[in-house]
Each structure stands twice: as structure tokens, then as C-alpha cells.
Structure 1
Amino acid sequence: MMVQWCKGFTFKDVEILILLRLRQLNSKISIYQAIKLFLAPNDPRIKSSDIKNIIESCSSVKVLLDGYDEFPDRDGATGSDVGRIITRNLFGNIDVTLTTRYLPKDYDKSITKYVRLVGFDEKARDKYIRKAVTGEDEESVANIKRALKENPILDDLCQVPLLFVMFSHMTHEKTHLQKFKSVTDFFRYMIKCFHSHMRNKSLDKHAKEHMSEHESEHYELSKVAYEGLCGENQQLSWRKDGLCTRLGQGFCQHYIAVGILVEEEVSAETNEQNSATDIQTRTDLRLIEVVAATRGTSELKNVLDKVDPFNLQYLYRFTCGISPAVGKRIIEYLKSREAGDKFAILCILEQTGEVDGIKDTVRDLCSKKVEIYSSDSKLLQRSTIQLLEIASRFDVSMFIENSLLR
């Protein structure tokens, strides 16, 4: 988007376009200090006061605040500039776009417009496959699209563009991989590809030696991820120095090089003259969940007591996929919860990897009235839809009440 604006392809009437990643900020730093720190760090002539004057003097400014759900002081009461922007007490006359996985608790509902990103639709998928994977090879295009259509579990997962991109390339290069039977299998193979790619790069005589033992010996990393997910305040990022002390410098560097952990600068000071930066290490939420699931198999009671499956569905699903014995207990627990029986279907699939193995369970669930409500959680809606997709393959008769418009 920034490149397109620089080239004049978008936001043509905007004089200044500002992009800030909120996970890099803290509640004490002003928005002008943040712009100075991350967008003009090497120009000593520019002060935060200059940035404020420039913004106020421009006739057209657009601000993009990326990832409010990752902002350290989200929904906090500290009076941060980010909070003031969201409530329109700051930048009231500026067009501000906020990206987030959930809505802030306090914002101006009267003038806020919403755009929901739902992932790659059919048209976008087709365009990407042709442009970046297969070219105009119609048969290969059809094979990749068919592989997803025949597997509703992966089709739902690949609504996420990054995962769809990885699936397309992996299954095009090795066609037998188009038959992934569970989300656990897909992520296991994806992580294996990360390590394999790094191992191949290490074959160069000038490259650093690949530490193969780190691939399998990651108990402490699993524990860190598990604690981050199951703590009172969910933690998706860690200070690098603390993480390296706990996991070992070599281990951290290995997983950063592999690409499973990612380094990122964050603001540490509020003094503009001493605006040092720290490093945090963060991963995609699903990768955290699959790593944490290894730990979760040995701490089942804590998982069930502390973690809502409707908030961290993949932690439950990966745990079921990794350990059939633990998975059986989780599935029984889910069936005992209100509206948990449909989600239990997805956990069963992670265990067996075979849709045919749950015919009786599908028929049992569909023998009752199948309802979908707008008030249902997104996971429950998706679980119900995937249940219906599986049922359609068995020609199971059912009574459906669609209440999404209520």
C-alpha cells in the first residue's frame, strides 16, 4: 500500500501517509515521538514537535494504525495517544484506519466505518495461483483448487492468505501433499519445511552449521508458548534478552534463522534524545498454538480449566492431533459443554484425519435441528458450516434453521 501511494496509484489526494505498527509502541510514548522513532530515526534535524507542526499544516493526512489487538496497552486506562485517536480526541480531523482482530471497548461508533477482511475469496485464489504458482497450466490450477474444495478443514484454514500461499506452493511441488487430512498434519509439515529449508542453506561451505537437535528438542519453547497463551494476560511476544536467557542463545538464534521466531524493534524509552529500542520475539498465533500444544498434552487439566476453546481453537485441535489419548479426554469434555459438540467434530478429525471415521457422529448431530445464529461465536458458526459440508459428502438428511439474519 505504501509503495502504491508513493507511485501515485492510490490515495492520490493524500499529502502524508503514516503507517505505524502498534505492537512496536508503548503507552507512554506520544504519537509524534513514535513517528520520529520509527519513520525518521536517522535525521537529527527533525524533532517530534516539527512532525506535529507538519501534520497540522497539511490539508490531507492519512494515518494507518496496524494491529490494535497487539498494542501493549489496548483498552487500557493510561490515556495513551493511541486511545485518544480511537476515541477521536486526537487527530479528529484526520482520516485514521485501524486494523484489529477485535473492536476496541471505547470508540466513536457514530462515525466509524467497518470493513471486514475475510481472506482469499475464489477469485483472489485463482489469480494468485496463476500468477505465482502454476502459470496458465489449467490442470495444475484445477488440482490445487480441487484439493482445497475436497477438504473443508483445510479450505477454512486457507482463508488466511499466508497459509493459502504456503499450501499452494507445497502441494504444487509435491502433489501427494494435496491430501493433508488434518490441520495438525499441515502445520507439522509446514514447520518441517522451515527446518528443511534452513538445513539446505547450511550446506553451503560459508553457512553456519545447522543444529538438527533443535528441531526435536524444544520442550522449553513449548512451555514458554503454553504459558503465554494460558496466562491471565495473553502474551504473544517476548523480550529477546529474557527469552534467550531461558531458551539459550544458540536455540533462539536457530529459530530466528529458521523463521519460526521473528525479531522486531519496539519502543523502550519516552525520552526523544534517548529513544533506544528493544527487541521482542514474536510468532504467528497458530504457530504459538501448535508449539504450545506439545506442552498442553501433559497439562490437560490446566488447559481445560483456563483456556476457552472458542478463543484458542487450534490449541485444542493441535493437542488432539498430537496425542490421541489426551485428545479423547478433550473431546469428551467438549461434548459436555454447551454448543461444544460441533467443535468436538473438528477435534475428532485431528485425531483420525479421516472423515469416513466419524460418519456416525455426524449423522447423530445432524439428526437434530442444526441451527446457525448471528450471535454464535465465529468458531461455532464455522464448526457448524464444516459439519454440514462433511455431512453433504455422506448424503445425510438434516433439518437446518438459518438464523444468521436474526
Structure 2
Amino acid sequence: MICNFPSPPLSRVLYFFTDKKSLLVNALKRRYKIQYDAIQPIPYIKERLYCVDKVFVEGGTEFYIVRGTADKGEWVRVNSYRDIFTDSRIKSTRRIIEAEAGYGKSTVTLQLAYDWCNGVESSPLKDVEILILLRLRQLGNVKSIYKAIKLFLLAGEPRIKSSDIKNIIESCSSVEILLDGYDEYPDKNKRTGNDVDRIITNDLFEDLDASLTTRYLPKDYDRYNTKRVRLVGFDKKARDQYIRKAIAGDNEEIVEDIKRALKDNPILDDLCQVPIFFVTFAHMTHEKEYFKTLKSVTEFFRHMIQCFHNHMRKKSLDKNTKKHISEYEIEHTELSNVAFEGLSNENQQLSWGREELGERLGQGFYDHYILVGILVEEEVADVTNEMTAAKHIQTKTEARFYHKLFCEYYASFALVNKVAAARNANKVKKILDKIDPFDLQYLYRFSCGIDAKVGSKIIEYLKGRKDGDKFAILCIMEQAGEIDDGIKKSVREICSKVFYLPYDDNKLIQRSSIQLLDIASNFDIPIDDLYMVETFSKADKDNIVLRSGLSLSNLSTLLKIGVKTEEGRELTEEDVIGLLLYAEQSKGLRELWFRNCLLPESIHPNSIPISLKTSKFKVFSQNDGSCLDLYSGQWIMADDVDSITKLCSDIVAIAERDSESQQRSTIELLEKASSRNDR
């Protein structure tokens, strides 16, 4: 006998579905609250946790606007991380948020989670129905996004299955997906057809909004639809805001004390553009006066590691806690070997199975470093069969360093031993060729700071690399622990020639260059000629901002600036005025040169600083042999011997792409030079 049971009423189906959705949303919010309520500004003090909203401060955020082809574009600064989701110029369902280690990628995702959970009115996610935030380092071998959500976000909610998650997501009109840490994703170089890759290539959830955070771009992503964003660190404004928000409140004395500690130490001032370092430094400086005296990155990090151990040592005085074993603090050879092997692999290994690592280090050592907080444990998927149902998927515990920079610190001890044992420069080169300094800059810097003799070998190697001389100076400072006469001599030699800041320098070289310029300025070393080759973005009285997002503060010993823009870019009147305002504050500056630049026809004379008009400061346009009349704001042909001599001292070229008026102006300049016997 066949029985036809009546279908349940539509209202009951809708009620059931709505109830499931409500369960899912509430479970997600409970999970995210655990995460965003556990921010540790001082890493080794585990019991002092903050809500992300109490400490989160906007660092610099930029997005990439394409001009014509994908390789032609520019990075544009925005006011807030929220603009990533709202600015019409980068409106898309796919975006990649890039940043170096320690620049706050994960913190941004936690702030977004806080905004969503608490319905923050100004948040672009306030009307989003479902927010999915997954840490990709946990998802090795998990092909299904629904299984991943169930396993890591909804494990404590038995009433929601993977199939329910799929149905709910497909029925929602607005879903935001945040995939955090692609550079630590175990499956990033595998071609398994997993859902994470399909989201990145826009083959899954095509109509849903998805963002990926990473240190570097995936090899394969939807280049046409994906918009790029990057975090560029803490400028002075962000640092000031953080100190007031998280440490000092309205206490101006504390604010000025911390800011003064940074100003007095140019090495740490550069380091503290990296948010993770600045946050640690600001809290520690507030509590421990001696942090102001640290002279290098290595010293800073060594003290921070000591603080981890000292904090544990004090806690171990309580009879109910485990005894602190000092030998583990001093003797960490095997941990250093593990760290070095992980970083020097072609595909870097940043986490290890708990049992495997405990066996290699010794269980006592392993347990000690977990308690201290230098190593942390995390649950990850333990999947061997991709067909395993979500309810049968198990997790396993893996250990990793508190942060990748800690991994570089411990790895540097192993690198020191290897370089020390190398008998000649070729052996050193063979070791170091496997370690990219532009990816692992702190591994190099720590190594030079730990052992001066080994540091000398590393520095010689770096000087032999293209543009390695600038980075080598940073390593010399680690080696010396201070800016001594030898470093000043090297800086003086570099700054006595044309100091190029080209666009194709990576960010590390640019940062190294900026720090060298700061050192020169601080120690009254003349900077003869700074030439920005397609790197200039904008300027104001305090800074020149580069296209990389880095900025040059006022340099008191800078004598001459040259600017060459990328092909097709036209400098605006605002751009030129910004450079003039910067020149006014840089007291030693005498000349501003525009080379192969499309310039505004004139500059409003009221916008030109009076102090420049009454000084010997000059502005040259090499294109047409003209100078800017600082009183009228008009470009006029050079007519005095001094200006013509200067213009002709550079290479004078007549290019086919030059306009007819440019070619005529150049010929006129050459004729004037010839008639005055100027060469």
C-alpha cells in the first residue's frame, strides 16, 4: 500500500529554515566574539586581553586603480579600511588585501567581524546577513568550504549540518566571505580544485562578496574582476591615535613621552611603521623605561623574548604553576634548526604537528615554550580522505610561532652557525642564495645583530647583490648596535652621489633608502641629489608620499630633488604646490627638478610660499629648458647664465615623442648655451 503524506505547509518550511539561519548567525557571532575579545597588545601577557575595538587603529590603506592595461595603474590612499567595500572605483565581488608580516591583516578581519556582530552603524557590513571568516592556515586538505565552516566555526552547534550551511548561504541576498592568510594556506600550491581556489578564481560564489588577505598574490586568481588593496603600516597620525586610544587616554604627558622615545631613536622609528612592533613598543615603553634605549631591531626583539621568559619566571613563583627552567631559555638549538628549515624550504613551513615537534624538541622543552607563549597551539583539520563527511572530520593540534617574525628570530641563530662554519665567500653565497632577503629581511638583520663576525660575511654578500648596498647598511646598524663613524662614512659615500629612488625597487629597498636618508639628515650629512624615478605620488609640507605607500619626512640636509613621473601621468597644480610646501620645510633644499614630466601650465602665485620667493630656491623643468617664476607662477625660458648652465649640465635630449613646442624649446636652450659658450 502506498501512502501519500501531505507536504508540510510552506509557512512551516519557512519557519524551520529561518530558525536554522538564526542558529547559524548566532553560532557565528559567538565564535567571532571569542576571537575578537582576545587581542594581546603585549604578546607575552596572555592574561591581559583586549577587545579589538578598544585597540584597533586605522593604518594606511590603499587600493590599486588600473589605468588602461593591468600593469599600468597607481596606488591611491583612502581614509579608511571601510572604503575597501564602499568606494565605487574598486567596486567588485573579489578583492585581495595585501600586506607584509605584522601589518595587521588579521586584525582588520577581526574588526570587520566585530562590526558585523555588533551592528556598527558606520560599517559597510552592517546589513550583511552572513559573515564567514576563516583562517586558511587551518584548512589543509579540506576541499569543501561548507565542511570548513562547520568544522571551525560551527563545531559547537550540532543542529547545523554542512548541507544546512550550503542551503542558507545560497538563499541569502548578502553574504561576506573573509579568507585570512592565504600565504599560510597549506594547499596554496596544490591543484586540488578545492573551494578556496574556486572562490579566488571566481568559479564559486560568483555573486557573493569575497576578500582574501595575504602577504603575496596567488599564482592564479581572477585578474579581471579582482581588486587589489594593501595595508601600508602606521604613519605618525595612526601612532598618535593608537597611543591615545589604547594606552594614554587624555594623558598628554604619556602621549608625548612615548612619541619622544620614538623620535629620539631613528632605528626604532622606522621599525614602528610595522603595527605589530609599534603596538608592542608603545605598551612596553609606557611600562618599562629601558625600552627607550634600545638601538637596533635585534636588541628590541631580544628584550621582548626575555620579557616572555621573565613573565613566565615570575608566574612560576606561585607554587601551583610549573617551574621555569632557565636552560630552555638559553639553549634552543633544535628550535632554531626547526625554524630555519621551515623558512628555507621552497614552500615555507610555518607550523608543525604537536607530537612531531614535541618529539624533536623534547616534550619538556616543547611544553615550556607553549607555556611561555613563544609557541602557540592551534586546531587544524586532519583530513586524509576528501570524501569524509563533515561530522566525521577530525581535528589535530599543530604548533606554530606566535608570529612569523619570531620564527625568523630563532632561525637566525641557526643561520649564524651555518655562515660561521662556511670557509669562504663561495660557501657563504651558496647558503644565502637560498634565502631571499626581500622576503626574510629580519632573518638577515637578526643574524647580523647576534654575531658581528658572521654579520660581516653576510654584509659582504649583500653588497654583491643588486641594490644590496642599501639593505646592507641596515644590517651594519644591527651589527654595530648604534650609528658609528663607519656607518656615517658609508652613508656619506652613498649620499654624495645621485641617490636614486626608482619605482622598480621593492619595498624593503625603498624602506632601507628612506632610513639612510633619515640618518643622513639626523647627522648633518649632505644629501646632494635625490632622484625619484616614477616613485612620486604626492606631497605636503611634512611628507613626500611614494607610490609604494612609504613616505619621506622633511630632510634638513637635502640639497636637490629630481622628479620623473611614469609615462602618461600629468602632474597637477596640487602636486607641484605640495612639493613646494615640502621644500619650504626642508630648509637646506635649493633646487627642484622635473624631468620628463607633464606639468600644469602655471601655478597660482598665492599658493607659492613667500619664504621660497625671497630665497635662492629654483624650480627647473628639463623638458623645455624652463624655470618656474616663483612670483608669477609662470614657466619662463631660462635666460640667465646660472640657470642655463644647470639645465645643460644634465643630459639634454630631443626625443621623437616630444611635442613640437618641447623640441623648439630644447633647441632654443641649446642655442642660448652655445651663444654664451655654456656647456
Residue of structure 1 equivalent to 2:330: 216
Residue of structure 1 equivalent to 2:379: 265
- Aligned mate of 1:359, from 488, 493, 497: 488
- Aligned mate of 1:293, from 412, 416, 425: 412
More displaced stretch, 2-11 vs 299-308: 299-308
AA in 2 matched with 1:390: I
What is the rounded CA distance, in whole Å, between the counterparts of 1:394 and 1:211 in structure 2?
45
Q: Would you say 1:236 and 2:350 are equivalent positions?
A: yes
Give the alignment of 1:63-212 within 5 angstroms.
Answer: 63-212=177-326
Q: Would you say 1:277 and 2:277 are equivalent positions?
A: no
SS in 2 for 1:115: strand
Q: Would you say 1:394 and 2:512 are equivalent positions?
A: no
More displaced stretch, 13-22 vs 102-111: 102-111
AA in 2 matched with 1:253: D
- Aligned mate of 2:452, from 324, 336, 355: 324
Contact 1:194 1:258 in 2 (8 A): yes
Give the alignment of 1:5-44 within 5 angstroms.
Answer: 5-9=116-120, 10=123, 11-44=125-158
Residue of structure 2 equivalent to 1:375: 504
AA in 2 matched with 1:207: T
AA in 2 matched with 1:354: E
Residue of structure 1 equivalent to 2:473: 345
Contact 1:370 1:401 in 2 (8 A): yes
Cα distance per residue 1:306-343 (max 9 Å; x no partner):
11212211111111100011011111111122111001
User: 1 or 2, which has the higher helix percentage?
Assistant: 1
What is the rounded CA distance, in whole Å, between the counterparts of 2:500 and 2:375 in structure 1?
40
AA in 2 matched with 1:337: R
Q: Name the larger-Rg structure.
A: 2
Note the C-alpha offset of 1:28: 4.0
Note the C-alpha offset of 1:137: 2.7
What is the rounded CA distance, in whole Å, between the counterparts of 1:161 and 1:375 in structure 2?
25
Question: What fraction of aligned residue pairs are identical, expressed as a percent?
Answer: 61
AA in 1 matched with 2:502: Y
For the structure 1 residues 331 and 65, does the alpha-carbon distance in structure 2 shift closer, same or farther, using more than 3 Å as the test?
same
SS in 2 for 1:314: helix
Count, aligned residues: 406
Contact 2:379 2:397 in 1 (8 A): yes
Cα distance per residue 1:118-168 (max 9 Å; x no partner):
222322221221233233332321121122233332222222322212111
Structure 1: state its 5+ residue gaps. none
RMSD: 1.5
Cα distance per residue 1:83-105 (max 9 Å; x no partner):
10001000100010111111112
What is the rounded CA distance, in whole Å, between the counterparts of 1:113 and 1:27 in structure 2?
27
Structure 2: state its 5+ residue gaps. 1-111, 420-427, 537-565, 567-679
What is the rounded CA distance, in whole Å, between the counterparts of 2:415 and 2:142 in structure 1?
36
Q: Would you say 1:4 and 2:115 are equivalent positions?
A: yes
Note the C-alpha offset of 1:16: 0.5
What is the rounded CA distance, in whole Å, between the counterparts of 1:305 and 1:127 in structure 2?
41
Note the C-alpha offset of 1:232: 2.5
Contact 1:63 1:96 in 2 (8 A): yes
Contact 1:230 1:303 in 2 (8 A): no
What is the rounded CA distance, in whole Å, between the counterparts of 2:468 and 2:150 in structure 1?
49
What is the rounded CA distance, in whole Å, between the counterparts of 1:141 and 1:45 in structure 2?
50
AA in 2 matched with 1:88: N
Q: Would you say 1:56 and 2:170 are equivalent positions?
A: yes
SS in 2 for 1:116: strand
Which protein, 1 or 2, shows the higher relative CO under an 8 Å CA cutoff with sep ≥ 6?
A: 1
Contact 2:136 2:182 in 1 (8 A): yes
For the structure 1 residues 174 and 42, does the alpha-carbon distance in structure 2 shift closer, same or farther, using more than 3 Å as the test?
closer
Cα distance per residue 1:272-325 (max 9 Å; x no partner):
232111111112121111111111111123542311212211111111100011
What is the rounded CA distance, in whole Å, between the counterparts of 2:241 and 2:439 in structure 1?
32
SS in 1 for 2:531: strand
User: TM-score, structure 2 length as denominator?
Assistant: 0.58
SS in 1 for 2:178: strand
User: 1 or 2, which has the higher strand percentage?
Assistant: 2
Contact 1:27 1:81 in 2 (8 A): no
SS in 1 for 2:457: helix
What is the rounded CA distance, in whole Å, between the counterparts of 1:14 and 1:43 in structure 2?
21
Note the C-alpha offset of 1:109: 2.0
More displaced stretch, 259-268 vs 182-191: 259-268
AA in 1 matched with 2:295: K
Contact 2:140 2:381 in 1 (8 A): yes
Cα distance per residue 1:347-399 (max 9 Å; x no partner):
10001121133111100111221111221111111111111111111222221
What is the rounded CA distance, in whole Å, between the counterparts of 1:329 and 1:164 in structure 2?
30
What is the rounded CA distance, in whole Å, between the counterparts of 1:344 and 1:221 in structure 2?
27
Which portions of structure 1, spanning 4 or more consecutive aligned residues, are displaced by more than 6 angstroms?
none
SS in 1 for 2:229: coil
